[in-house]
Structure 1
Amino acid sequence: MGVEQWRWAGQERFAGFCLTFLLNREPAAVAASLGADSLTLMTLAEAERAYPISRPGALLRLGAFDNWVFCFEDRAPIANRTPAILRLSKDTRMLQLSRSGDGMVVVRDVVDGRTMEMFEPGGAVYVDGPLRPRIAALLPAHSRIVAALAVVGDEVGANLDRATLDGRLATALSPLNEPAGRR
């Protein structure tokens, strides 16, 4: 299990983000579930010019690893909202990590709308499962977000480094605004 490639997540620039992995989904279907009409291949720099932070909405950056699609949101995430979780996980498995601006980290494993596991690494456990002890084994040697990403990345076979996130990915801005809430 690699931890080093996930160190970027502990940097200040990524104070808050949501990273969602979905099994056997296409990027366009994920974007549509999150309220975006179309995807354009662009680098992060191009995306930030096309969709400046002053423009409201969630910036969706999507790619794939084998049978898994990922969606990375680092401003105004919506994939971690209850209605989106239900849509995204319908008929599939969803693994998701959210880090709020205040540093709270939440890991979710949802299958067809049913929460199989949900917890804060090193903190509250809402629904216990097999990922939590694997992440706990990496604490406190690594930050909660880096440990969580290393385990979830291992689970889905993803090595999502900064070069990938900064590179050309399917990108869209979603205007969707849904209520927050815990599931």
Structure 2
Amino acid sequence: MDADHGPWKWADLGFTVTFSLDLVPEDLLTCYGADPVRAELLTRQEAWDKYSPNHGGTQLRTGTLNGWGFCFEEIGYQGSRPEVLTMLSAHTEVFSLFNMSGKSTLKYFRNGLRIESFEPGFAYSVRGQQPHALWARTEQLARSKSLPPNRAALGAIEERIGARLGQDLLEGVLLTAYLTEPRPSAPFPTPQRNPPGRFLGSFDPMTLDPPRPPSLGEP
């Protein structure tokens, strides 16, 4: 799972990633409240040069992976917001993993509703519909592969989507936008294909202080 480190290369900075079934990058940006018309195809280095996330906004980098649209936010949390996940999951389903400052949450929404959510490693944080399959698989992976709970959570998501979020993909060319408004106001998108605190009630990633940006000499 960690052969190329994937997003964990930037775990000290923190990140949020979402995976939405059958949504294309333009749909994702609309759900986040960004303007897809103004988005550009950029590498990670180019994105940092142009849209530094520490200047009061959110850098959104989007692509597709095995039929799932993904949005990666380095030093960002918009993809963990319930209103964003409601939009992303309208008419489809979405997985979200937030990881920053020693805290992480996994959320699964379908058709605009939360199905399951938890903080990896903390059984009392589990919320949503039984049988809590994502929680069970995350715990199993953590035990069987000796993984930290947050990495096991991403592994459980990657099993569900049938693909890995690799470092090369994240460093390569992706459709990139910069979100300056904290709350999205876009309507629900129509998918282009038919889709087949230690307490979640009080923990709000918006209360976290943003980490410092990395040295661009070592992306």
TM-score, length-normalised on structure 2? 0.74
1 CA distance for matches of 2:140 and 2:50? 41
2 CA distance for matches of 1:74 and 1:165? 10
Q: 1:131 aligns with which of 128, 134, 157?
A: 134
2 CA distance for matches of 1:29 and 1:12? 26
* 50-59 vs 161-170, which moves further: 50-59
- Are 1:117 and 2:122 counterparts? no
Q: Which amino acid aligns with 1:20?
A: T
1 CA distance for matches of 2:127 and 2:72? 24
Q: 1:30 aligns with which of 28, 31, 40?
A: 28
2 CA distance for matches of 1:164 and 1:68? 14
2 CA distance for matches of 1:31 and 1:9? 20
1:121-156 C-alpha deviation (Å, 9 max, x unpaired):
210212251111111012251112211111101110
Q: 1:149 aligns with which of 144, 147, 154?
A: 154
CA change 1:164–1:13 in 2 (3 A) is: same
1 CA distance for matches of 2:116 and 2:142? 19
1 CA distance for matches of 2:173 and 2:32? 20
2:13 and 2:75 in contact (8 A); partners too: no
1:3-37 C-alpha deviation (Å, 9 max, x unpaired):
22474444465442111000111110110111211
1 CA distance for matches of 2:176 and 2:12? 18
Tell me how far 1:105 sits from its aligned partner. 1.4
2 CA distance for matches of 1:118 and 1:56? 28
State, as a whole percentage, how many aligned pairs show the same letter.
Answer: 28
Between structure 1 and structure 2, the one with the greater Rg is: 2
Q: CA RMSD in A?
A: 2.2
2 CA distance for matches of 1:167 and 1:182? 36
- Are 1:177 and 2:182 counterparts? yes
- Are 1:45 and 2:50 counterparts? no
CA change 1:93–1:6 in 2 (3 A) is: farther
2:89 and 2:109 in contact (8 A); partners too: yes
Unaligned runs of 5+ in 2: 185-199, 203-219
